[in-house]
Amino acid sequence: MQKTFYLETFGCQMNVHDSEKVVGTLLAEGYRQVESVEEAGLILYNTCSIRDKAEQRVFHRLADFRRLQAQGKKFGVLGCVAQQEGEKIFERAPHVSLVCGSASYRNLSQMLVQIEAGKRATGLDDRQTDETFETEFTARSHPHRGYITIIEGCDKFCAFCVVPYTRGKERSRTSASVLDEAGRMAEAGFTEIQLLGQNVNSYKDPSGRMSFPGLLAAVGEVPGIRRVRFTTSHPRDFTREIVAAIDAVPALCDHVHLPVQSGSSRVLAAMAREYTREQYLERIAWIRAARRDISVTTDLIAGFPGESEAEFEETLSLVEEVGYDGAFAFKYSPRPNTPALDMPDSVPESEKARRLAALQERQREVSTRRNARHVGEILEVMVEGKNEARGQWVGRTSQNKVLNFTVPAGIQPCLGGYLRVGVTRSFPNSLAGEVVG
C-alpha cells in the first residue's frame, strides 16, 4: 500500500514555503498527500513558536489525535517548536516519532526511512550550518505566485525574538541559484515571485556577485515575471538602494513591509533593534521620496517589558506620523532563551491587552484614511478568486491591497490574470471597484 501523509502548517510565510519543500520531498520519496488526519499514515505539524499561543496550538493538536497512534499512525513535529523543545517533545507527547527543526530539512529523507523502520528520528543539530535547504522538488501550492527563499536564519537577536534560536544562523543562497529558480518558475507560468527571509536586507551573495537591491532588480527583470515582493525587512539594514531599485524596475511591487516594533527610542534600544525612532523615520522619508506611491506596512509590539504609558503613546504617534497602510500588532509574549525574559516586567496583562486594542484601533483609523486615497484611481490587480456570494471577484494590487471588483458583461476574468480596476469605494482593510475597458 502507498505511504500517505497529512501536513498542517502554522506560522509565517517562511514556514508555508518550507512546507512546500517538505511536501515535495515526501512526494519524491513515494508518499501521497492526503487531506485528513484519518486517511494519513504519517501526520506532520510544521510549527511556529513566535508567540506562546502559536506554540500551544501544536500541543493541543497532538493531544487531540493521540488516540490514532493505536491505528499505527506516526506523528512528526517540524519547524520552530521542534527546534525549541527538542527531545522534550517525546516526553510530553510520547506518540511522536520525528522531531526536526528547519535547519535539518536537508536530511529529511534519511529521517523518514528511520521512522518507517519504527525508530525515532531527530534533526536538531544543524543550526550552525552554512547550507540552505534547496530542492528541485518544491510542491508549490499556488499556480501563479510562488516563494523563493534567499536567506535562512537570523543573526539579529532582538531581545524578544525566538527566531535566531529556532532557525539558526544567517546563511544566503547564491544569486545564481535564486535566479535559476526564478527562471524556472517563469517558464512554468508563474508571474509573481515573493523573495523570503527573516531579514532579506542582510542578504549576502556567497559568490559575491550581487547585493540585495541588485538581486531584487535581477529577479524583476526575469522575462515573464510581472510582480516581485520581498519580506521581511529589518530597518537597520534597509537602504536607499532598495527604494531606487523599486523606482527603476517596474516589476518590483509598490510595497515595503518594514517592522518597527515600537515608536520609542528607549524601548527600541531595550529591544536591541539597533535603530532609533529618528533613524526609522529617515528610512520612511526615503520611501516617501520615491517616484512611485509605495505602501508601507509594519509589525508592532504592545507591552514590551518596562514600556511606560508615555513610551506606548510614542508608538501611537508613530503610527499616525508614518501613516501605515496596514500593521500587525501583537501583545508581547515571553519566549524561551530570549534576553527579554529576564527583564523586569511591570506592565500587567490587562494593561498590555488595553494597549494592543488601542494600537489596533488607531491603525484601523489610519488604514481607513490611507485606503480612501485610492478612490478614483485605476489600479492593476492580479485576479485571486471569486466571492460567489457577493458576486465579486477578488484581486490584489501591487501595493498588496485586496481589491474586490465587478466585471462588465462579456468579460470573463481568469485566475492569475491581470486586470485594470477603477476603485470606487474603500474600507479599513480592502478596496472595491469595477474593471475598466
Binding residues vs ligand SF4 (CB under 6 A): 11-12, 14-15, 48-50, 79-80, 162-163, 166-167
Picked from ligand 5AD, ligand SF4, none, the partner binding residue 48 (CB below 5 to 8 A depending on kind) is ligand SF4
Note the residue count of the chain: 437
DSSP state at residue 174: P
At 25, list the grid cell.
520531498
Placement of cell 457577493 in the chain: 390
50 lies in the binding site for ligand 5AD (CB under 6 A): yes
| CA trace torsion 381, 192, 168, 259 (10° rounding) | -30
Pairwise CA distance, residues 35 & 164, whole Å: 32
Contact (CB, 8 A) for 102 and 83? yes
DSSP state at residue 35: S
132 lies in the binding site for ligand 5AD (CB under 6 A): no
351 lies in the binding site for ligand 5AD (CB under 6 A): no
Q: Which of residues 161-190 bind ligand 5AD (CB under 6 A)?
A: 161
Which residues does residue 195 pair with via DSSP β-bridges, in sequence order?
Answer: 148, 230
| Half-sphere exposure at residue 160, Cβ-oriented, CA atoms within 13 angstroms | 24
Pairwise CA distance, residues 414 & 395, whole Å: 11
The continuous run of DSSP H or E covering 313 comes out as helix 309-322
3-state secondary structure of 170: coil
- E strands along 150-268, which residues? 151-152, 171-172, 192-196, 227-231, 255-257
Nearer to ligand SF4 (CB atom), residue 17 or residue 144: 17
Q: Residue 51 CB: number of other CB atoms within 10 A?
A: 18
Per CB under 6 A, the list member of 134, 247, 299, 321 interacting with ligand 5AD is 299
How far apart are CB 238 and ligand 5AD at their closest, in Å?
14
How far apart are CB 12 and ligand SF4 at their closest, in Å?
3
- What's the gap between Cα 158 and its chain centre? 17
Picked from ligand SF4, ligand 5AD, none, the partner binding residue 332 (CB below 5 to 8 A depending on kind) is ligand 5AD
Size of site (CB under 6 A) for ligand 5AD: 12
Per CB under 6 A, the list member of 46, 138, 199, 261 interacting with ligand 5AD is 261
Q: Which of residues 79-98 bind ligand 5AD (CB under 6 A)?
A: none
Picked from ligand SF4, ligand 5AD, none, the partner binding residue 160 (CB below 5 to 8 A depending on kind) is ligand 5AD
257 lies in the binding site for ligand 5AD (CB under 6 A): no
How far apart are CB 21 and ligand SF4 at their closest, in Å?
14
Please write down the HEC assignment for all residues of 85-113: HCCHHHHHCCCEEEEECHHHHHHHHHHHH
At 22, list the grid cell.
517538505
Picked from ligand SF4, ligand 5AD, none, the partner binding residue 166 (CB below 5 to 8 A depending on kind) is ligand SF4
How far apart are CB 102 and ligand SF4 at their closest, in Å?
7
335 lies in the binding site for ligand 5AD (CB under 6 A): yes
Interhelix angle 309-322/349-372, rounded to 10 degrees, is 10
How far apart are CB 126 and ligand SF4 at their closest, in Å?
15
Picked from ligand 5AD, ligand SF4, none, the partner binding residue 261 (CB below 5 to 8 A depending on kind) is ligand 5AD
312 lies in the binding site for ligand 5AD (CB under 6 A): no
345 lies in the binding site for ligand 5AD (CB under 6 A): no
Nearer to ligand SF4 (CB atom), residue 58 or residue 217: 58
Picked from ligand 5AD, ligand SF4, none, the partner binding residue 51 (CB below 5 to 8 A depending on kind) is ligand 5AD
- What's the gap between Cα 414 and its chain centre? 26
**Residue of this chain nearest to ligand SF4 (CB atom):** 11
156 lies in the binding site for ligand 5AD (CB under 6 A): no
301 lies in the binding site for ligand 5AD (CB under 6 A): yes
Choices 64-72, 211-219, 328-336, 351-359; region in contact with ligand 5AD by CB under 6 A: 328-336
DSSP state at residue 67: G
How far apart are CB 59 and ligand 5AD at their closest, in Å?
18
303 lies in the binding site for ligand 5AD (CB under 6 A): no
Picked from ligand 5AD, ligand SF4, none, the partner binding residue 245 (CB below 5 to 8 A depending on kind) is none
Placement of cell 526536526 in the chain: 100
Placement of cell 520519496 in the chain: 29
The burial of 25, by beta-carbon neighbours within 10 Å (0-12 exposed, 13-18 middle, 19 or more buried), is given as: buried
Nearer to ligand 5AD (CB atom), residue 275 or residue 332: 332
Pairwise CA distance, residues 259 & 296, whole Å: 10
* CA angle centred on 376, ends 374 and 381, rounded to 5°: 60
How far apart are CB 423 and ligand SF4 at their closest, in Å?
32
Binding site for ligand 5AD (CB under 6 A): 50-51, 160-161, 259, 261, 299, 301, 330, 332-333, 335
